[in-house]
Amino acid sequence: MTSDMIKNTDKYIMETYKRFTPAFIKASGAKLYDENNKEYTDFLAGIAVCNLGHSHPKVNQAIKDQVDKYLHFSNLFYMEPQGELASLLINNSFADRVFFANSGAEANEGAIKLARKYAKDNGTPEKYEIITMVDSFHGRTLATISATGQDKVKVGFEPNMPGFKYVELNNINALIASVTDHTCAVMLEPLQGETGVNICNTKFLKELRAFCDTHDLLLIFDEIQTGIGRTGKMFAYEHYGVEPDIMTLAKGLANGLPLGALLSKEEIAKSFVPGTHGSTFGGNPVSCAAGVATIKTILEEDYLKKCCDLGDYFVEKLNGLKGKYSFVKEIRAKGLMIGMELDFPGADIVKKCFDKGFIINCAKEKTLRFLPPFVIKTDDIDALISTLDEIFAGINS
Ligand code: PLP
């Protein structure tokens, strides 16, 4: 059965991803199963997507209920789950308005367009440049690879879209020095996920917020990976006491269905009027129904606290390994977004963990990244830690 799946995938799908074998055929909570019923414990959650775990009963029920009503009318008509999800997002964030897209990159495209349009609408047509961070990741479309502060995602796709500059994370002086009369916004991830959990510091974000306010620059937070409870707050900006003007979401928003969102203050949102931006599928009712169930469950079942507590437990155990193995350089974490930097590439360790039934990931070559679903158990964490201990001991000897 899975051999056909693997054969068809390898033969017919463009090879933009390397896939692990064997293939999974079902999943529930933090466990995935292959066709021999071998169990794997999930420390990746579909790359920070299935935050409530796989096949969550409330999310699945909401999806089924919506499927039985209707799938799609288009954004020319009202669709109930969109309004419900929008009100949940607005009532739990700094924002006044939301635009729904299908993915993270699309949400960021929207944010880039909105920042440029707002500058034009407010008497500064010369402003279009956006400053982003070195080692950021904002997506794979042409605008978002241009926004991304990593050369490797751009190679072969030149010319890059003009209008982006990159500065070192947490370096306010570098950022201030790079602003020109053309700058309209600064865009960053409060924690960089794809490049190994690099964390913004509070002083930097506070100084940046003040600088943006005094220089009429918009502050855009890409919370595509950090949002929806991943760091132990609904949105990572809440850790800092610093609110953005625009925020983007995707990944965990619908716990596994495709959905992206762009949120902003009312004054900025006014720059999007009929005809300026749109998406046929954006805000699909089934995805939005899943989003409503996801956010309500996170809030009602205290998952933000669970995420913090589990994160603290996990980090303590990882620090134990750091004390034991000198090649572990640093543990970086907020909630259940955790990186363990090694002094050598981690791909081999990821593969060894997989063979032993643990799904982890490696970001920017040397950082093991753990993004478990919030339903992970302390026993699962203990089991991974002893597996890592065993693998690390083999490296040491
Ligand atoms: N922004 C961040 C911070 C991300 O982590 C990602 C994906 O990893 C994206 C944007 C792109 O999202 P998508 O793959 O849904 O387009």
Q: What is the C-alpha end-to-end distance of the chain, expressed in Å? A: 41
- The atom number, within ligand 1, closest to the CA of 223 reads 3
pTM of the model: 0.98
- The atom number, within ligand 1, closest to the CA of 103 reads 15
168: which residues sit within 8 A by CB, 6+ positions away? 133, 134, 174
Strands ordered across the beta sheet of 328-334: 328-334, 337-342, 367-370, 361-363
Q: What is the CA radius of gyration of the chain?
A: 21
Longest distance between any two alpha carbons in the chain, whole Å: 66
**Which amino acid is residue 391, in one-letter code?**
I
Residue 1: its pLDDT value, please?
A: 66
**Which amino acid is residue 277, in one-letter code?**
H
Show me where the domains of the chain are located.
2-55+302-396, 57-300
Residue 109: its pLDDT value, please?
A: 98
267: which residues sit within 8 A by CB, 6+ positions away? none
Backbone torsions φ then ψ of 42, nearest 5 degrees = -90, 110
Give CA–CA dist 293/257, Å, rounded: 12
Measured from CB, residues less than 6 Å from any atom of ligand 1 are: 103-105, 108, 137-139, 189, 193-194, 222, 224-225, 250
Backbone torsions φ then ψ of 201, nearest 5 degrees = -95, 155
Give CA–CA dist 133/362, Å, rounded: 20
> Which of 138, 364, 371 is the best mutation target for the ligand 1 pocket, counting ligand atoms within 8 Å of the beta carbon and taking the most?
138
Read off the tokens for 117.
């349009």
Residue 2: its pLDDT value, please?
A: 84
Q: Which of 274, 309, 258, 272 is nearest to 104 (CA)?
A: 258
Residue 16 C-alpha from the chain's centroid:
19
The yes/no answer on whether domain 57-300 falls in CATH 3.30.1550.10 is no
Cα of 242 vs centre of ligand 1, distance in Å, is 22
Cα of 250 vs centre of ligand 1, distance in Å, is 7
Q: What is the CATH number of domain 2-55+302-396?
A: 3.90.1150.10
Q: Residue 219: beta bridge partners? A: 186
Give CA–CA dist 310/329, Å, rounded: 22
Residue 178 C-alpha from the chain's centroid:
27
Give CA–CA dist 345/348, Å, rounded: 8
DSSP 3-state assignment of 207? Answer: helix
Give CA–CA dist 301/91, Å, rounded: 18
Residue 396: its pLDDT value, please?
A: 65
Q: Are 359 and 43 in contact (CB under 8 A)?
A: yes
**Which amino acid is residue 348, in one-letter code?**
D
Residue 34: its pLDDT value, please?
A: 96
Instruction: Going from the first residue of the chain to its last (397 residues), give the mean pLDDT of each consecutive group of 10, the final group possibly shorter.
Output: 90 96 96 97 98 98 98 98 98 98 98 98 98 98 98 97 98 98 98 98 98 98 98 98 98 98 98 98 98 98 98 98 98 98 97 98 97 98 98 86
